[in-house]
Amino acid sequence: MSDEKNRFIGGLSINPIFADFVETELLPAIGFERAMFWSGVESIINDLTPRNRELLKIRGELQSKINDWHKARQGSDWVHDEYVTFLKDISYLEPSDTFVEIETINVDAELASIAGPQLVVPVSNARFAINAANARWGSLYDALYGTDVIAEDEGRQNTSVYNARRGAAVIRYATEFLDRTLPLVGASHGDVNIYGIDRDEDGVRFVASHANGEALHLKSPAQFVGFKEIESHAQYLFCNNGLHIELLINPDHPIGKDATANLADVILESALTAIQDCEDSVAAVDAVDKVGVYRNWLGLMRGDLTANFMKGGKGIVRTLAKDRVYTSINNEELVLSGRSLLLIRNVGHLMSNDAILDATGDEVFEGILDAIITVAAALTDRRRDGLQPNSRTGSIYIVKPKMHGPAEVAFTDTLFSRVEKLFDLEENTIKIGIMDEERRTTVNLPLCIKAAKSRVVFINTGFLDRTGDEIHTSMHAGKVLPKGAIKEQPWLNAYEDWNVDVGIRCGLPGLAQIGKGMWPKPDEMLQMIETKQVHPESGANCAWVPSPTAATLHAMHYHAVNVQAMQKKLASRPLASIDEILTPPLGDVSTLSADEIQREIENNAQGILGYVVRWIDQGVGCSKVPDITDVGLMEDRATLRISSQHIANWLLHGVTSKEQVLSIFKRMAKVVDNQNNSDASYKRMSEDIDNSIAFQAACALVLEGLYQPNGYTEPLLHQYRLKKKRELAC
């Protein structure tokens, strides 16, 4: 931590570490003049901060009115029509009977017209950020061999040295995939002994040879789009449903030398897009942390970000993947990006950061700061040696989370316009991804899209935050059901369908993504394969996955489902029920036994502690956290929001007591400590529980959860993380 005092530039007080980053790294990279930059920043802050505050005040006022309405009706029967009328009267539910189609232009194909997996990673971690960018292409052989998709029975164990029997099972699985996706006329890919091409005056054609010598051809010859032949190996490129597949033929390869037709690997175009996250998966609480976030994003946009780490006792330097160069069937150069199209997720409207203090001495809203700095960094996105630009249309893609209703989307549109003017960008260069994860946005989604109709490139459901907001919004309405039962309530399916229905009616197909949420179990890939095809079948262009391996496996679903055709089919179905969406997941929990209540709270408490201890003590915003049964789950602030709000609701309505909750938290602290025994940097909570800042933070999230704005966890997490950083600095 620096002892240097803040620098005063105009009416702003600027943290010196942040100022140095801007003036010695960011501005030189984009060739922007210092005085003009700070003057523009100050103008944006001064003009937009009052409106930001006003919008947050409206959030609080609406929640207070909803709380009072529920309190006045405690003990009375639920009358849904009265509730809906009330929400309209207070302008929570805004009138809308039309669907305005978006007018977004200059959208890259990865967002506009191709369906595929989407990664979300903390941009604060350079290694993860690079891995996600490089996840555009992935080995299907590796993804199958290293996961539970291939069972470890009958001699197919995943051992430290190559297991030929497991490898054979991988090849069989991949062959079946090729037979479904790139079918041959009258034969299986398993019957091929040679892959190759024929050249004539009309161009290049793909051809294969059967083991009996018969020539084999694709059922759909147009699927073959390119090739690359270099001495001992060849790469044959195909396209299905807009996604590419490469067959790597190499007789000298450890796998290829023994494989049928020397097929050494099947490479799938996997994570078409990746969200580099400044928000829920990041623990950035001050100027120092934010500089780390911004520096990595700048490196991604410049193309020079690297990550150094040790693996297998060797030092490794990870860099961004080069583009993939082929020859097309017309004998022309065909260049495909080697990296995912990158979006940057800014923070929402709530939080502030000490990187800049305004003229009144208040911290600047972090969402305003993110918009300015992440756009500035994206200005370095240009064609460079071996790398196509991130956006080949010149657009900048920002995902905006946790907006409540159309007025907040309109505010973001205004913010982006101001940033465009600062950097002299064409209007609507900055595109927006609207996270549909707050109930006021869900029920007003057509108006939210209308408010940014020339910027929208993405809408996405987020079950986790959406559930947290559902619980908090209806906190005083009654007792919520156990978490497992909440997922089975009508509101959830209606919410997921409504997002697709509205997106289609607002003209997103062919111009923008309609997305679905995260697969939370990074080690359960067989289960993902068996269930996640429901997302493209639901009409979603993309769905989130937790790793590059998961992206490669999930890509198979988009080869099986033509999402564009599915969206056309779904366009004629009736709209999902807004009445179901507005039915809170309440119920009679009196039938639960004491043991069932205890287990529900234990499950929540263990998940809260497992995530919070890493956030507070180590500054890790997203990690694989073992649940109470030791199944690893990807956790971020959204999952934390559900668990903390759930216990807060049960405390409010007397399902549990403060004494019971604290007793459970103390016991679960020991469980979490034991689950982290292998982490040398881990500090056990249970050995000095009264002085454990992480334990205090976890308890505060529950005991103070009723009073947190919209049930968000950020204010308390930031407070306790800053306290921990001060302790570590002493």
Tokens standing for 169?
């099972």
- Strand-strand pairing, 456-461 and 243-249: unpaired
- Strand-strand pairing, 341-345 and 396-400: parallel
Q: What angle do CA 477, 478, 483 make, to 5 degrees?
A: 115
Q: Write down the pLDDT at residue 730.
A: 84
Residue 453 in 3-state DSSP?
A: coil
Per-residue 3-state assignment (H helix, E strand, C coil) for 479-508: CECCHHHHCCCHHHHHHHHHHHHHHHHCCC
Instruction: Decide if 40 is inside a domain.
Output: no
CA distance linking residue 614 with residue 544, whole number of Å: 23
**670 and 681 share one domain:** yes
CA distance linking residue 88 with residue 166, whole number of Å: 60
pLDDT band at 630 (very low <50, low <70, confident <90, very high): confident
**336 and 410 share one domain:** yes
CATH number of 605's domain: 1.20.1220.12
435-442 average pLDDT score: 98
Final residue before a domain boundary, out of 523, 549, 581: 581
Instruction: Decide if 26 is inside a domain.
Output: no
**293 and 305 share one domain:** yes
**407 and 505 share one domain:** yes
312-324 average pLDDT score: 91
- The catalytic site residues sit at 345, 636
CATH number of 205's domain: 2.170.170.11
**525 and 439 share one domain:** yes
DSSP 26: I
Q: Which domain holds residue 413?
A: 55-94+117-132+272-581
Q: What angle do CA 454, 456, 461 make, to 5 degrees?
A: 160
Residue 312, pLDDT above cutoff 80: no
Give the residue among 401, 409, 113 at the shortest CA–CA distance from 273.
113
Q: Write down the pLDDT at residue 1.
A: 47
Number of domains in the chain: 3
Q: Write down the pLDDT at residue 539.
A: 98
516-538 average pLDDT score: 96
Instruction: Decide if 36 is inside a domain.
Output: no
Q: Write down the pLDDT at residue 623.
A: 80
**325 and 246 share one domain:** no
Residue 323 in 3-state DSSP?
A: coil
Taking the chain, what is the end-to-end CA distance rounded to the nearest angstrom?
10
Residue that wins the pLDDT comparison between 518 and 4: 518
Instruction: Decide if 254 is inside a domain.
Output: yes
Q: Where are the beta strands (DSSP E) in 394-496?
A: 396-400, 430-436, 456-461
Residue 725, pLDDT above cutoff 50: yes
123-147 average pLDDT score: 97
Residue 692, pLDDT above cutoff 60: yes
Q: What is the distance, to the nearest Å, from the Cα of residue 442 to the centroid of all Cα atoms in its chain?
A: 18
Q: Are 381 and 390 in contact (CB under 8 A)?
A: yes
Residue that wins the pLDDT comparison between 313 and 443: 443
Instruction: Decide if 428 is inside a domain.
Output: yes
Instruction: Decide if 280 is inside a domain.
Output: yes
Residue 678, pLDDT above cutoff 80: yes
Which residue is listed with tokens 């490479």?
A: 267
Tens digits of residue pLDDT in 203-262? 799 999 998 999 999 999 999 999 999 888 999 999 999 999 999 999 999 999 989 999
CA distance linking residue 101 with residue 489, whole number of Å: 31
CATH number of 439's domain: 3.20.20.360
Residue that wins the pLDDT comparison between 159 and 123: 123
pLDDT band at 713 (very low <50, low <70, confident <90, very high): very high
DSSP 206: E
**431 and 571 share one domain:** yes
**425 and 347 share one domain:** yes
**552 and 616 share one domain:** no
Residue 3, pLDDT above cutoff 70: no
Final residue before a domain boundary, out of 269, 302, 332: 269
Q: What angle do CA 541, 557, 170 make, to 5 degrees?
A: 150
The pTM of this model reads 0.97
Residue 307, pLDDT above cutoff 80: yes
Instruction: Decide if 561 is inside a domain.
Output: yes
Q: Are 474 and 70 in contact (CB under 8 A)?
A: yes
Instruction: Decide if 208 is inside a domain.
Output: yes
**532 and 680 share one domain:** no
Q: What is the dihedral of CA 22, 24, 26, 32, to 10 degrees?
A: 90
**532 and 487 share one domain:** yes
DSSP 586: B
**278 and 330 share one domain:** yes
Final residue before a domain boundary, out of 581, 613, 637: 581
